[in-house]
Amino acid sequence: MAKKSAHVQSVRDVLRIDPEAVDLSAVDPAGSPVGPKSKSDAAEDLAGMAAELDQLQENLYAEGVLGGKRRVLVVLQGMDTSGKGGTIRHVAGLVNPQGLRIVSFKKPTRSELSHDFLWRIRRQLPTPGEIGFFDRSHYEDVLVPRVDKLVPPSVWRARYQQINDFEAELAESGVTILKCFLHISPERQKERLVARLETPEKRWKYNPQDLAVRAKWSQYQLAYTDLLTKCSPPTAPWYAVPSDRKWYRNWAVARLLLHTLRDLAPTYPVPDYDPVAELATLTEADPLR
């Protein structure tokens, strides 16, 4: 137990990005700066978290049923093949699917583009009691449009503040946001892209556009550096999750989520009826007789 507590204490401190000095080149995508050092240790620790995660989620969900407003939103960003989907599978898979809202944001449709960039995000937020997972998010809007020059710089530059305002508004409405940047190396991306192309069952995951994006690797790292610098208020920090090794990535996001839920500390809410009286009615004067 002491060992586990140590993980929880430090995982956030170690992975949290300091917006004053963002340097992605200093973060080893293959590192394990905190927590387990092997796949088997990580699997064991992950399995050990499941019951507590499940219980915390149920309590949060119960709160929502009884009128609570709190909810959690896990935002996953990262280059192609960094494992946003895999993280959702392995981390979200630890809890009751009924309390989850999982959303993958694709290239915006024409209809979505006719609204402001936060419009489609607002429509998919977790409702009270839910844990939401976003596979890509509003942060795409300071990445692709910038790198591909789809909008003038004044437009994407204004979005940093708009995002900060939006996230502050979320916090006000009961949403706790957990932002994870899944950090991979270009070498690992290449391996994973090759694997997708070589394996018939994985080819659907590949898109010829992936190579065009890969070619702009350094521009994307710069765009990420800027958003990590400008959108990291103390209340909604980013975490850099080393993601070259899937087992480390899954472990780290699960731990970050566990820590987030522990801080919320949802407990079974006290119902607004009298259980003793209800029980008496049901057992002594069952309305169905």
Q: Which residues of the chain form contacts with a second copy (CB under 8 A)?
A: 62, 65-66, 85, 88-89, 92-93, 96-98, 100, 102, 104, 135, 186, 190, 193-194, 197-198, 200-201, 203-208, 211-212, 214-215, 217, 268-269, 271, 273, 275, 278-279, 281-283, 286-288
Considering the complex, what minimum distance in angstroms separates the CB of residue 237 from a second copy?
Answer: 25
Q: For residue 241, report the phi and psi dihedrals to the nearest 5 degrees.
A: -105, 110
97 versus 234: smaller Cβ distance to a second copy:
97
92 versus 252: smaller Cβ distance to a second copy:
92
Considering the complex, what minimum distance in angstroms separates the CB of residue 89 from a second copy?
Answer: 5
234 versus 273: smaller Cβ distance to a second copy:
273
94 versus 170: smaller Cβ distance to a second copy:
94
**What does the DSSP 8-state code read for residue 92?**
I
Which residue, among 244, 283, 268, has the nearest Cα to 32 in the 3D structure?
Answer: 244
Which residue, among 25, 13, 2, has the nearest Cα to 252 in the 3D structure?
Answer: 13
69 versus 190: smaller Cβ distance to a second copy:
190
The dihedral built from the CA positions of residue 76, 134, 136 and 178, taken in this order, carries a sign that is negative
Question: How large is the C-alpha radius of gyration of the chain?
Answer: 21
Whether the Cβ atoms of residue 59 and residue 128 lie closer than 8 Å to each other: no
Considering the complex, what minimum distance in angstroms separates the CB of residue 79 from a second copy?
Answer: 11
Alpha helices for the chain (secondary structure H): 2-15, 39-65, 84-87, 110-113, 119-122, 144-147, 153-172, 186-198, 209-215, 217-230, 246-264, 275-284
174 versus 269: smaller Cβ distance to a second copy:
269
Considering the complex, what minimum distance in angstroms separates the CB of residue 118 from a second copy?
Answer: 19
Considering the complex, what minimum distance in angstroms separates the CB of residue 284 from a second copy?
Answer: 12
**What does the DSSP 8-state code read for residue 93?**
T
Considering the complex, what minimum distance in angstroms separates the CB of residue 255 from a second copy?
Answer: 19
